[in-house]
Chain A
């Protein structure tokens, strides 16, 4: 296991290095300057300011300087938020994004599993049809549409939840629901299909024949085995939520990082683009590593160490 982890961490660093390199050079191909007042600066004025930021140096030199800084934990200062270190910009704004994302994942997946399991147990009844309709709706309604509907009906009309802004758990309810719909629907659909399969397999018949209680069969045998493939989709779903919360963040005025990522690309804010790319790719790598490890824990048949070789 330790050897496996070491290997994976080495790959993680290698992946990050490649991502940094490719992003850096691609980013430099963007037309325009990172200067927020570019529209009002002449070429000679831009050249003078570039000199101060070291942007007049050849790209490969800037790249090496960036790497040297990044190793020391210095990711430069943002152009959009002038004078703010990128590390501070990200750390001060990533909390709400992660919180909403995490809550949405947990709420969505947990409810999804319950809904899916019910559907499978009551296969071909009205319960099953209802869960199918719920998951189809959850997948087909985009989170931002749901967000606006929730905001209007539960926030403005009913007044149960704050319409927007940030300031306590109550403020996270609506965005969590809006973002949680997709993982809910996906996992419900997935669990239902898997469980229908598992329920008709031989070992379940055996368990039933041995006289185990119905709940015992469902929880100990059926559900556990249906959850294994779910791990596969949870990883990508988590990443999807991390990166896809921008619109929901805007609608609920959440002081998150989602919009900064898009805005940094549009405004050529080089240090912020790099910083956020590194953070996002790191999170993606870690999520994938976790899902791989989880596999081994949930299903001993899957050997992550690859001993067979």
Chain B
């Protein structure tokens, strides 16, 4: 098999749309990926450094309540704190709406998919409900700019992000022989170091040992954070001396952030990392058991291009095995809903401008019933990939309910199911779905059955 526009948009993109043409070739896809990020400009999400309410303002508001000199000042401070909380809640819903709007609007669908893939690879969860709205800004700052660039750059951006430091306890970790450890009586926390090796770079089967985890954990000490000033490197918390990670010595002089960043370069360019990332991408985009030759090609291209992720994607798209049917993966709930909106031609400005209530009822709550609580997977390993994890009775109940009910709420006049089957599945839909589109008693049933069909869920 070779390139096919319908498969390109469904498997590697965000689903077909009646008014946005699918890519015409692999070259088209790669050119779009190499070009500017149009959707980020059209539907902005604040970068972490600029997002409000920030950790700093939330902390300042809490302190103002604590330190209020009298009842009147306290009431004022509490009103301000509550206003910030409300702003955070609204921003959380707005982030979700914006992410859907980008997905609905784009002609560079693979960029959206890659952003979600790498955000999941570097999963963080908000440490409290008050900062849930900062997960999207983390992705916007640390992940999205690098999805077509060098993996090492993404890795470096992630490990200095307060969202990751807090999520994997790195801010608490002190070098056992550091000045801070002596004063505070605390010590090393291996959480981030372990996940960096096990999940983010070499992978659980990679060639690293418990000693590497420990040495990396010692090397990472000094990555610190404060609510007021954000990320800080703290030499007083850093373990003195050199650390040996995967046979390479880092540091040894005065503790320095550069030593840690150098180590990220080393991890990013390790052959086991190349293989782990290549296979994970191939599993996500192609099939649960991707062709080993395809994976090898992707890894080799990545290493030859000095750790460039676009080269890895190119290796995948140019390989014939990437285009082999049948579709065996399924859309995650977010992608399912967003692709439904695309097929229904819901205008992106309607999505982006939706009210808090609408976003909850059309996207957030249905996703939860389908099994994906937005930006809150259970662990640092992110969402599962296997179709069987998602297509369970209650997951399917959520999907069928959405298919049957949401379209009526979203568009004024439902399309004729006989047309809609082509909007959703292309010029050659499977015959049983085309039959159902003709046989439905009502437009609502017809559109719903097409959206609930296995063919629309698979990719």
A interacts with B: no
The chain A residues found within 8 Å of chain B, CB to CB, are none
Spell out B's residues near A (CB within 8 Å): none
